[in-house]
Amino acid sequence: MTKKLIEYTVDQEGIGHLVFDNPVEKVNSLSSQFIEEFLTVLNQVEGDSLIRGLILESAKPGVFIAGADIKWLKDLKTREDCYNFARSAHPPFNRLEELKIPTLAAINGICLGGGLEIALACKWRVAADHKSVQMGLPEVKLGVIPGGGGTQRLPALIGLQSALQLSTTGKSLKGSEAQSIGLVDAVLPADNFNQAAKQFLLDKINSNEDISRPWLSDDFQYGINDNEKNPEFRTKMFTMARDMVLKQTKGHMPAPMMVIDSVEKGTMEGFKAGLKAENDAFAEVLCSPEARSMIDLFLMQNAIKKVYGSEDRSIKPAEIKKVGVLGAGLMGSGIAHSAIASGYNVVLKDVSEEALDKGTNSIRGIFARDVERGRMSEEKMNKIMSLLETTTEYDAFKDVDIVIEAVFENLQLKHNVITEVEQYIPYHCVFASNTSSLAITELAKVSNRPENFIGLHYFSPVNRMPLLEMIRGERTLDQTVVTSVAFAHATRKLPIVVNDCYGFYTTRIVAAYIREALQCLNDGATVVDIDGAMEDFGMPVGPITLLDEVGHNVGAHVLSIMKDAYPERFAEDLTRVTVDDDRLGRKNQKGFYVYEKGKKGGVDESTYALFSTRKSLDLMRDDVQERIIMALINEVGFCMGENIVTNYNDAEIGLIFGIGFPPFRGGPLHYVDYRGIDTIVTTLGNLEKQWGVRFKSAPYWIAAMNEKKSFFR
Ligand SMILES: NC(=O)c1ccc[n+]([C@@H]2O[C@H](COP(=O)([O-])OP(=O)(O)OC[C@H]3O[C@@H](n4cnc5c(N)ncnc54)[C@H](O)[C@@H]3O)[C@@H](O)[C@H]2O)c1
């Protein structure tokens, strides 16, 4: 028998208690079973003339209702499914609102999305004075909009500006913040919260408070002050809201705009018209490719959080107490920061005190910004910093459980430090290299314990980039992978585990991306068109800007490794052109763009003349975009076919979080599904005819076409 999600009782004082408690999940969420039970309780309440009031409460600590069950949305396959789903969305909320008795939502913790919409349909809301309380409408983060009346009840209750801000960004509020804008009527002590909430309701009942909702009357006007009721002010406010959304989403996400449209409709034509507009928009947005991609992305991220590192669950992660980091540069200091922030003792080694001071200052700087913003106390920062030990010697590596190497990208130097440090570290210690392009098996050749050897490829800046690409060398044991994956989870990273080759997954893709951008430039495209084309596609920065940011010398070094490893596709290396002119990008203030006092300016037109073989072909932005994206997609096909990437989720998560592939496109395999595998192969064939063998389709794509394969559909 299916276990119940909602309990309903009536107490001796005639107060009905509708208690949310999902017996199998950690959170309460809206699902078809939930709605069915909810409607049954409403029937009971409506038919019971003795009930004096109703409290909606949760028996789950720290959670009221976390929102809709995402799997429920995932199951909507066809347009018809989406429309039917949307059509059935409003009645439960409307019926709750229309009850003839006083109603109260007792919010003890997370109250998001559909959870907040239920609370909004109650007459009053109280929140527990507890840090677990979070209230908001995060639907836009999943590419959808609130579908349970949230776009109308929220502005009707708290005003247009606050509501637009909350519902277009998906931000959530603490209890006290919610009270300050009128979203909750009171914040009550967390101890005996449900009891206090009941007293709140009894007081309201005893004082005969009006339970009508102003927005249900025909003459209701949205707006909580004179400004919000002024038509001119409103017009400006909606324009500003749209401008803000456009700036943030660059027009790629329809959902926040649809939220604004629905709020505006309600404001102009009344609550009921607003609800109808919300319902139509909800049905439409649910079927959008952006929403389908974002919902998949949410599920993929959850799946990645459960990655174990081996099919054999009898292999348990070894305990890591102390971490050694070699190299206190950009990456080493970032890795050390990430480890101490998660409570690990860290010893950081570099060749000079000067390098160590620089690294330590940059670590402290990251925490200091948190202190400045009030996110961390100074005392806590000092406590965390005390976990860090710095040294120019190896002695302190005698008791480390994992070493992460982040010295310069040079095979000989890396071989030297591996040989040196292995004289000190205990035998069980995992050795991880943060190389961005060298093969792990090649690096491990000098190791006397290659089974403990793994690649841990962090991304810069480490404190902001969640991805951790883990590379399994030919001789890496599952035990090493399992321990490293557990370390990744403990330091709040998203681990993907790939097999070994030069550039593994993400670096191969980014190399193809930059390579083709430079080929376009050499064929006559402008820097502005190349970067613009890729920003139009949704990348956070274009490939030329990216090269300026990472440094042309770094790019040239990686491209030369790719050229040796994959000569068919990386034969012509154009990265050297600018390096030979001592153009390194932002780091020496000289790149494809002009830099003044650290600020990026316009394009440095003199760069074009360096490309002596540059043609003047008439390339449109669309051509440029197609070439660069297809170069990237083709390399993904090679990585899949060579079993470097072993599952679809890793292919998507790796590029979204590693190189900024647009999340609303769901990742490269979603993109292949969207275009259709036949189109991908045909397009690659055409590009090969026009631009050469580097576009020759990966055999994986041809096989996928023959099998009529799709990946996420
Ligand atoms: N910069 C990036 O975006 C990025 C991203 C991923 C991976 N990586 C990889 O991380 C590694 C480090 O890159 P980085 O950008 O931090 O370089 P960096 O130049 O900022 O730092 C390298 C540090 O290593 C130190 N070092 C050199 N020899 C050493 C030795 N024998 N013992 C201890 N320390 C030594 C140097 O003094 C320097 O402080 C490289 O392999 C690089 O490919 C870089």
Residues 157 and 228 in one domain: yes
- Output the domain CATH number for residue 458: 3.40.50.720
Domain residue limits at 551: 507-575+615-706
Residues 232 and 327 in one domain: no
- Output the domain CATH number for residue 112: 3.90.226.10
| Positive or negative: CA dihedral 634, 497, 495, 709 | positive
Residue nearest to atom 5 of ligand 1 (CA): 459
Residues 248 and 342 in one domain: no
Mean pLDDT value across residues 496-502: 98
Helix-strand-coil split of the chain, %, nearest 5: 55, 15, 35
Tokens of 659: 């190189």
122 Rama class: left (phi>0) / alpha (psi -120 to 50) / beta: beta
Would residue 210 count as lying in a domain? yes
* End residue of a domain, out of 485, 500, 515: 500
- Output the domain CATH number for residue 628: 1.10.1040.50
Mean pLDDT value across residues 75-91: 91
Q: Which ranges in 538-642 belong to alpha helices (H)?
A: 543-550, 552-565, 567-570, 575-579, 621-641
Mean pLDDT value across residues 641-653: 98
In terms of Cα–Cα distance, which of 694, 688, 651 is closest to 672?
651
Residues 512 and 494 in one domain: no
- CA 338 – ligand 1 centroid, Å: 16
The C-alpha atoms of residue 367 and residue 365 are separated, in whole angstroms, by 5
Tokens of 624: 């440029």
Name, in order, each residue with C-beta under 8 angstroms of 276's C-beta and a sequence gap of 6 or more: 265
Element (H, E) at 107: strand 103-107
Residues 148 and 283 in one domain: yes
Residues 363 and 435 in one domain: yes
Tokens of 340: 């101490």
pTM here?
Answer: 0.93
Tokens of 578: 């600018």
The C-alpha atoms of residue 604 and residue 581 are separated, in whole angstroms, by 13
Mean pLDDT value across residues 530-534: 98
Would residue 677 count as lying in a domain? yes
Give pLDDT tens digits for 309-326: 999 999 999 999 999 999
* 469 in contact with ligand 1, CB cutoff 6 A: no
Residues 427 and 526 in one domain: no
Name, in order, each residue with C-beta under 8 angstroms of 7's C-beta and a sequence gap of 6 or more: 17, 18, 19, 21, 59
Q: How many domains are there within the chain? A: 3
Report whether 470 contacts 434 (CB < 8 A).
no
The C-alpha atoms of residue 179 and residue 110 are separated, in whole angstroms, by 15
In the residue annotation, 37 being an active-site residue is answered as no
Mean pLDDT value across residues 225-237: 96
Residues 491 and 512 in one domain: no
**Mean of all residue pLDDT scores within the chain:** 96
What is the number of the ligand 1 atom nearest to the C-alpha of 417?
31
Q: Is the per-residue pLDDT at 1 higher than 70? A: no
Q: What is the DSSP letter of 501?
A: S
The C-alpha atoms of residue 293 and residue 661 are separated, in whole angstroms, by 12
Tokens of 225: 């002050």
Residues 676 and 546 in one domain: yes
| Residue 613 banded pLDDT, cuts 50, 70, 90 | very high
Among 325, 326, 331, 468, say which to mutate for ligand 1: greatest number of ligand atoms within 8 Å of CB. 331
Give pLDDT tens digits for 64-73: 999 999 988 8
- Among 405, 422, 469, 635, the one annotated catalytic: 469
Among 395, 408, 509, say which to mutate for ligand 1: greatest number of ligand atoms within 8 Å of CB. 408
The C-alpha atoms of residue 312 and residue 379 are separated, in whole angstroms, by 42
Q: Is the per-residue pLDDT at 2 higher than 80? A: no
Would residue 369 count as lying in a domain? yes
Tokens of 127: 């929140």
Would residue 301 count as lying in a domain? no
| Residue 585 banded pLDDT, cuts 50, 70, 90 | very high
| Residue 603 banded pLDDT, cuts 50, 70, 90 | very high
* 350 in contact with ligand 1, CB cutoff 6 A: yes
* End residue of a domain, out of 287, 307, 336: 287
Give pLDDT tens digits for 413-423: 999 999 999 99
Neighbours of 62 (CB within 10 A): 18
Would residue 396 count as lying in a domain? yes
Tokens of 144: 């959808």
Residues 378 and 326 in one domain: yes
The C-alpha atoms of residue 654 and residue 648 are separated, in whole angstroms, by 10
Beta bridge pairs of residue 323: 346, 402
Q: What percent of the chain has pLDDT over 90?
A: 97
Task: Give the E-state strand segments of 367-509 in sequence order.
Answer: 388-391, 402-405, 430-433, 453-458, 467-472, 494-499
| Residue 598 banded pLDDT, cuts 50, 70, 90 | confident
Among 407, 510, 560, say which to mutate for ligand 1: greatest number of ligand atoms within 8 Å of CB. 407
Strands 134-136 and 186-189: unpaired
* End residue of a domain, out of 452, 474, 500: 500
Residues 335 and 387 in one domain: yes
Give pLDDT tens digits for 542-565: 999 999 999 999 999 999 999 999
Would residue 303 count as lying in a domain? no
Helix (H, G, I), strand (E, B) or coil at 648: helix
Element (H, E) at 112: strand 110-112
Would residue 293 count as lying in a domain? no
| Positive or negative: CA dihedral 158, 162, 166, 171 | negative
Give pLDDT tens digits for 245-258: 999 999 999 999 99
Helix (H, G, I), strand (E, B) or coil at 706: helix
Would residue 599 count as lying in a domain? no
Name, in order, each residue with C-beta under 8 angstroms of 208's C-beta and a sequence gap of 6 or more: none
Mean pLDDT value across residues 264-285: 96
Distance of alpha carbon 519 from its chain centroid, rounded?
A: 31
Residues 255 and 354 in one domain: no
Q: Is the per-residue pLDDT at 404 higher than 70? A: yes
* 434 in contact with ligand 1, CB cutoff 6 A: yes
In terms of Cα–Cα distance, which of 173, 426, 164 is closest to 321?
426
In terms of Cα–Cα distance, which of 342, 348, 454 is closest to 400?
348
